[in-house]
Amino acid sequence: MSYPIWIGIDKRDHSPLVGAAACDAHGEKCEQVYPSQLRHRCVAYDSTIGVHIICTPTYARTWGLRIVECFQAADHAYARR
């Protein structure tokens, strides 16, 4: 059984963060996703309003956002045992 994990954006260099501890310590924008959704999320920059957001790569391409970096696929290290 999989459980939601926290992902976020690092407020210093706008890189992706995974895990609640990392989001609490350095996170700017955080949300919960299931591990299977992790590879379908990226950090994108919206130059019209000057913010970084977490979205899907398809959303970023559709709206003309610049993809900064994508989250790595889950390797089941986040599964509860």
Query: Which own/partner contact pairs does 42-45 have at CB distance under 8 Å and 24+ positions apart?
Result: 42/16, 42/67, 42/68, 42/69, 42/70, 42/71, 43/9, 43/14, 43/15, 43/16, 43/67, 43/68, 43/69, 43/70, 43/71, 44/68, 45/14
Quote the tokens at residue 4: 């939601």
The C-alpha angle 39, 44, 49, rounded to 5 degrees, equals 155
Q: What is the pLDDT of residue 12?
A: 86
Quote the tokens at residue 18: 């995974």
pTM for the predicted model, two decimal places: 0.80
Per-residue pLDDT 10s for the chain (81 aa) are 678 888 999 888 888 888 888 888 887 788 899 888 888 999 999 999 999 999 999 999 999 999 999 988 776 655 555
